[in-house]
Chain A
Amino acid sequence: MNFELSGEQQMLKDSVERFVQDNYEFAKRKDLAGSALGYSDSHWAVFAEMGWLMLPFAEENGGLGGSAVDMGVVTEALGAGMTLEPLVPSVLLGGKLVEALGGAAQKDNILSAVAGGQLKLALAYGEPHARFDLNYVEATAVKSGNKYVLNGRKSVVLQAASADKIVVIARTSGDAADTSGISAFLIDADTTGLLKQDYPMVDGQRASDLWLQDVQAELLGAEGAAFAALQSVIDGAICAVCSEAVGAMGRVLEMTKDYTATRNQFGKAISDNQVVQHRLVDMFTVLEESKAITDMTTMRLAEGAQNTSALVSAMKAKVGEAARFVGAQGVQLHGGIGMTDEYPIGHYFKRLMAIDVMFGDSAHHLNRYAEGIATGANS
């Protein structure tokens, strides 16, 4: 039992922190978020060069065989700087699903290019009627020769605008809420019949809604059997964004401690007031909880635990709520200046809010966990 980083993990952490420090000064981030692409391709090249994009892939697929814990080390440090590059969508969502389901040729063609940063992926799983339920899939796929024809709509697909290929989840059989009959497909981003509406998210990242009209697609894995892999890939991505939230909350707490120690009202620093001190302590406490449960859950995943969905939901419910609280209290304790676009705290608030929503908000995950109590799975 050990929560301390290994020497290698410490080096990895140091290198990501250095990257953030050198490249993600707040004003620079703001410019990047406002640019056409929404992030920097030269940063992306650094992600590739440093090996961060190959980290989670198995060695036989050209990766470094890093564990969920190793990935958490990277995303926690990135989260502190609110970096914008599409590590989660391209590597942890699209790439990991290709690794889980793809045949040898598909993995050969795609994974080394994803790990090298030359090819960007997105994962289109969400739908307007599905809310956060992964199993609710209305988009259809019908076999036609050795290809499939996709129809339907996908919503809030992270970083689809700059993706080269998109992994699309569609139904090959069954009713909209069935877990069986769900399949994964690969399409080119510029393929005929795909209409994209690109837009910014509240945290400065990018997403798209997709309309698929008779789009030709290539099947990944066995027909109708993608659900388990999808869920496990999303679980991994949830660990990564929870680590990001931990990094971001840490920054919020530091900034807010600094600000309240220097801001004077009524002749004293506002952090001399007990009510402000106790609020900071409550922020510290939920951060400590979030850090610990994220590390613990990530380790459980890395160690191949069973019932991972319950563990991941417990973590996301806790971290999502903590993220909202810390972000909101950060703004509150900054007072008026916290309301401005010019000051970083509000951007952390928005990023933390987006992380709560991403892959299911705390209410969704608490309900999901509570279902397990009814069935006795979490007794």
Chain B
Amino acid sequence: MDLQFSSDDLAFQDEVRSFLKENLPASVLDRSDRGLHPLKDDIVAWQKTLHKKGWIAPNWPVKHGGTGWSLTQKYIYNREYFLTGAPQTIAFGLNMVGPVIYTFGTQKQKDKYLTDILQSNVWWCQGYSEPGAGSDLASLRTRAVRDGDDYVVNGQKIWTSWAQYADMMFCLVRTDPDVKQQEGISFLLIDMTSPGIEVRPIIGLDGEHSLNEVFFDDVRVPAENLIGEENKGWTYAKFLLGNERNTIARVSRSQYQLKRLKEVARAERRGAGHLIEDTDFRRRIARIETDLMALEAMELRYLSQDIAGKKLMAEPSVLKIRGAEIAQAIKTLTVEALGPYGMVYESEDQLTMRNDGPLGPEYAHGAMADHLYQRAATIYGGTNEIQRNIIAKLILR
């Protein structure tokens, strides 16, 4: 047992660190530091920078544009990426539908979509959840009926992040209502400009528009946009969810944000002193920090098992549960650090329309915005309760 990385890996770490530091635009870092979503043009430009460097899709096979890095190098890259403070790249194309297309798609589909995903030319969104199908995803009801060379799609998706920016959606639809739920689902690629699609905003707890409802009214989708076989979509959907594990523990992102929390606690005044001198507050930081150290140790231990060729079963769910809980604890405590300004909030639009400056300390707005947004961390991608069900199934006989 040892914790040392090889000298090659350490050299790689230096290379990654200096490239990211030198190339991450200050404006992108500033929004990310303040807990705000990146602007669309900014994140696209940043992703294009990473693409030019060849680092946009570390997990893709080399022949499709991946990096060919070892598991350790991928770990190091992700760690350095988030320690830089950079915002996460948009996952829908790069981490979700891209791997589905190069694994299950036709040559024509690969030719048509993969380059645009790597170059961030096309913005994808995820059509999974429906009003009646959240954690129980397989009960989805959006219907697709074959009609000549098209499918005709009717129904509704919900919680669709960034659908307002999206050019394309990968969408789970029901193609056979008469068989077992999982066996009647297909995986379609849908052009968001198709007639009959309506995107309606859902304003979130943070007062911002990141979520949407998407309605389908006799939307015609060319049958060549079907991934794999009809009624086999559940297999591809599960494959996609299994690919979300890379950054699931969000250790280095949380380390970065914990450092920010300490900065806030050092800046916040309390009488003649500062909040960081409050023993109870400091203890609560310490508790989160020790939790985070244990999470980092788990992530490394599982990486080591992965490298040794052991198949990970319940482990990703453990990382998801603790990673989300710890991220939320950091955000909650950061807002608490604001004292009375921890009650103050308005959306970014309203805030920027003011001509009388920020409300309270400069860091207050984003701290609350991110805190509100991150309440979703224990809900999306399978709620923490669902994750516990998954672990129970795997560890109990």
Residues of A within 8 A of B (CB): 1-6, 9, 69, 257, 261, 271, 274, 277-278, 280-282, 284-285, 288-293, 295-300, 302-303, 311, 314-315, 317-318, 366-367, 369-371, 373-374, 378-379
Contact = CB atoms under 8 A, between A and B. Distances in A.
Contacts of B285: 370, 373
B3 interface: yes
A373 B286 contact: yes
A257 B2 contact: no
B396 A271 contact: yes
A299 B296 CA distance: 14
B2 A303 contact: yes
Contacts of A293: 293-294, 297
Contacts of A314: 289-290, 293
Given A1-B304, A296-B301, A370-B285, 15 more contacts: A1-B72, A2-B1, A278-B389, A284-B318, A291-B301, A292-B300, A295-B1, A295-B301, A299-B3, A300-B3, A314-B290, A366-B286, A366-B287, A367-B279, A373-B285
Contacts of B388: 277-278, 281-282
Given A303-B2, A366-B287, A296 B392 contact: no
14 contacts: A274-B389, A277-B388, A280-B396, A281-B391, A284-B395, A290-B294, A293-B293, A302-B2, A303-B3, A314-B293, A369-B289, A373-B262, A373-B286, A374-B276
Contacts of B301: 3, 291-292, 295-296
Interface string B36-75: 0000000000000000000000000000000000001000
Given A285-B321, A289-B294, A277 B392 contact: yes
Give the size range of B's interface with the partner.
35 or more
B397 A2 contact: no
A4 B286 CA distance: 29
A9 B277 CA distance: 45
A3 B308 CA distance: 9
Contacts of A280: 392, 395-396
B291 interface: yes
Contact of B1 (A4, A288, A317): A4
A318 B283 contact: no
B348 to A, nearest CB: 30
Nearest to B259: A379
B266 to A, nearest CB: 9
B298 interface: yes
Contact of A299 (B1, B315, B389): B1
A329 to B, nearest CB: 14
A292 B4 contact: no
Contacts of A300: 3
A240 to B, nearest CB: 15
Interface centre among B4, B305, B391 (most CB of A within 10 A): B391
A261 B2 CA distance: 38
Contacts of B305: 3-4
Contacts of A296: 3, 293, 296-297, 300-301
B62 to A, nearest CB: 23
A371 B298 CA distance: 25
B146 interface: no
B391 A6 contact: no
B282 A303 contact: no
B295 interface: yes
A337 to B, nearest CB: 20
Interface in B351-397: 385, 388-389, 391-392, 395-397
Contact of A318 (B277, B291, B308): B291
B60 to A, nearest CB: 24
A75 B350 CA distance: 60
Nearest to B393: A277
Interface centre among B1, B282, B321 (most CB of A within 10 A): B1
